[in-house]
Amino acid sequence: MRAVDLPTGSSSVTVGLDPLTPDQIVAVARHGAGVALSRDAENAMETTRKVVEALADDVEPHYGVSTGFGALATRHIPVALRAQLQRSLVRSHAAGSGPEVEREVVRALMLLRLSTLATGRTGVRAEAGRTYAAMLTAGITPIVREYGSLGCSGDLAPLAHCALAAMGEGEVRDAAGTLVPAADALAAAGISPLVLAEKEGLALINGTDGMLGMLVLACADLRLLLRTADVAAAMSVEALLGTDAAFAADLQAMRPHPGQADSAANLYALLADSAIMASHRNPSCTRVQDAYSLRCAPQVHGAVRDTLAHAETVAGRELAAAVDNPVVTLDGRVESNGNFHGAPIAYVLDFLAIGVADLASISERRTDRFLDVARNHGLPAFLADDPGVDSGHMIAQYTQAGIVSELKRLAAPASVDSIPSSAMQEDHVSMGWSAARKLRRAVDGLTRVVAIELLTAARAIDLRAPLTPAPATAAVRDGLRAHVAGPGPDRHLAPEIEAAVGYVASGEALAAAESVTGALR
């Protein structure tokens, strides 16, 4: 799911010694907020920079300062070549290939790298941090390519492309989105190209910032989508003449998963005062219980909520981390470490992709029930105006099913697919960048699946007239009708699906429901 970027510099986020919040990351990455570096952060950076500078002439080897990198770490680099070492590192590691990565992802990874620099644990000068802050504020976005990161030693190639742009090399997109040489964009913004000193090239590329940035953005999207999925499910339960009895709080409490309880409470609130549901609460209704896709909605939606909560916990820990190798410790030591390994992030990215696939799967099953006269309790076949002449939503379900099938493939974990590199020095990697890339595609697919369920359920609710829906679901249906007309003969369906996708992705559908229920959980 992609939000439209707002004008750059529309607000400002200060990067200091405290961890960034997800809201701050979204503001900078997605909405173009500017960035400033705090004085405390600059002081911390300059203090530890002195430690690195004291090592510059040391006869003892120090990784990244006086040695080569990776499998070349045994090569001692003479003092006269150490600045060249950093430039060569960035140039050689800016080796990405494939399509451009989205602007919001590049901005997120630059902001998160800056956040680590601001801790003072990397030993770079404050000047490097100020350069990144200035680029973000000016809306200068380095060209980063799809392929190049194995998720260990950080997101090396993506971060190297950003460092290359800060040096005034390579290509960027300016605030207007125009592709220009990095040197020209920096000059137009009044930013001097960064001249790297000892260790700085390494510090600028050795982080898990790309995969973490994508995790934070996905979590923000899923927070919206999970509540909207409850809205769509409630509309389906209602229009399929289901019951809300299974969503009662005492029944949910018998299995005390917090996400399940929240989803059930949402469904109960959304279905309150439904005349459609009241119409079949009588002895003539012989159904004992609803199908799983209706009755078990809280269990599935809730499990995804709990998975998301775990992912957000991991993201919070990562936002408080200082990822680099080597690092300058609080007592002034310069130590090698393995904190650049992306496993913690990669696992939850994969875990979320599993939840996304299953949430989409149960949504598609509810949609399918509307179209089958054997299961839709009196609605026309495929919700068509004149079945046979019209096909109604028959192929909308095909579109949903095609997306769900792809989401199942995207749920295959990337994090189990380590591949050795760097002459076997880096012999186990996380593939976290790949996990993040496929999760972004999965979140977009889920948005479309939920939108098609909502579109279909709204049509079915209209076809139950003169019975009226619950006030909350009516508000959602009415909001959709501002974009998509109600039931009738077949029309060009693709634009209506896209309108429903926009209605969901923008948060408008959720806002319509919450205008009646208050904030959903």
Asked whether the predicted pLDDT for residue 8 surpasses 50, the reply is: no
User: What gap in Å lies between CA 305 and CA 355, rounded to an integer?
Assistant: 9
Asked whether the predicted pLDDT for residue 297 surpasses 90, the reply is: yes
| Average pLDDT estimate for 327-340 | 89
Mean residue pLDDT of the chain comes to 93
| Average pLDDT estimate for 236-257 | 96
pLDDT in tens, 499-519: 999 999 999 999 999 999 999
Asked whether the predicted pLDDT for residue 458 surpasses 60, the reply is: yes
| Average pLDDT estimate for 342-349 | 96
The 3-class secondary structure across 116-158, one letter per residue, is HHCCCCCCCCHHHHHHHHHHHHHCCEECCEEECCCCCCCCHHH
Please tell me the predicted confidence (pLDDT) of residue 464: 97
CATH topology of domain 12-207: Fumarase C; Chain B, domain 1 (1.10.275)
pLDDT in tens, 425-455: 777 788 899 999 999 999 999 999 999 999 9
Please tell me the predicted confidence (pLDDT) of residue 4: 36
Question: End-to-end CA distance of the chain, in Å?
Answer: 21
CA angle (268 as vertex; 264, 272 as ends), nearest 5: 170
pLDDT in tens, 469-489: 999 999 999 999 999 999 999
CA 329, 334, 338, 340 dihedral sign is positive
Report the range of poorest mean pLDDT among 151-160, 178-187, 297-306, 354-363: 151-160
| Average pLDDT estimate for 66-93 | 76
Asked whether the predicted pLDDT for residue 6 surpasses 50, the reply is: no
Q: How confident is the model at residue 63 (pLDDT cuts 50, 70, 90)?
A: low
User: What gap in Å lies between CA 46 and CA 62, rounded to an integer?
Assistant: 19
Asked whether the predicted pLDDT for residue 71 surpasses 60, the reply is: no
Asked whether the predicted pLDDT for residue 338 surpasses 90, the reply is: no
Contact 417/343 with Cβ under 8 angstroms?
no
- Peptide bond before residue 466 is cis, with ω within 30 degrees of 0: yes
Asked whether the predicted pLDDT for residue 64 surpasses 70, the reply is: no
Please tell me the predicted confidence (pLDDT) of residue 7: 42
Contact 368/471 with Cβ under 8 angstroms?
no
Asked whether the predicted pLDDT for residue 314 surpasses 50, the reply is: yes
User: What gap in Å lies between CA 112 and CA 121, rounded to an integer?
Assistant: 14
Domain boundaries, the chain: 12-207, 215-320+350-517
- The catalytic residue among 63, 147, 268, 503 is 63
User: What gap in Å lies between CA 499 and CA 48, rounded to an integer?
Assistant: 53
Please tell me the predicted confidence (pLDDT) of residue 420: 79
pLDDT in tens, 262-292: 999 999 999 999 999 999 877 766 676 899 9
* Most confident of the ranges 379-383, 417-421, 430-434: 379-383
172, two tokens: 């960027």
34, two tokens: 């500017």
Lookup result for tokens 């997800």? 22
CATH 3.40.50.1360 fits 215-320+350-517, yes or no: no
pLDDT in tens, 384-412: 999 999 999 999 999 999 999 999 999 99
Contact 221/1 with Cβ under 8 angstroms?
yes
Residue 67: φ, ψ to 5°? -135, 165
> How many other β-carbons are positioned within 10 Å of the β-carbon of residue 491?
12
Contact 447/232 with Cβ under 8 angstroms?
no
Of all helices (H) and strands (E), which one includes residue 335? strand 334-335
Q: How confident is the model at residue 207 (pLDDT cuts 50, 70, 90)?
A: very high
Contact 90/204 with Cβ under 8 angstroms?
yes
Higher pLDDT, 78 or 346: 346
Strand partners, 181: 171
One-letter amino acid for residue 481 of the chain = R
Higher pLDDT, 75 or 410: 410
| Average pLDDT estimate for 309-333 | 94
Task: Spell out the residues 6+ positions from residue 99 whose beta carbon is closer than 8 angstroms to its own.
Answer: 145, 146
Of all helices (H) and strands (E), which one includes residue 13? strand 12-15
Looking at the chain, the whole-number percentage of residues with pLDDT higher than 90 is 81
- Is 63 catalytic? The answer is yes
Contact 477/440 with Cβ under 8 angstroms?
no
- Residue 467 DSSP symbol: S
Residue 412: φ, ψ to 5°? -65, 130
43, two tokens: 């002081």
The 3-class secondary structure across 154-221, one letter per residue, is CCHHHHHHHHHHHCCCCEEECCCCCEEEHHHHHHHCCCCCCCCCCCHHHHHHCCCHHHHHHHHHHHHH
423, two tokens: 């002459």
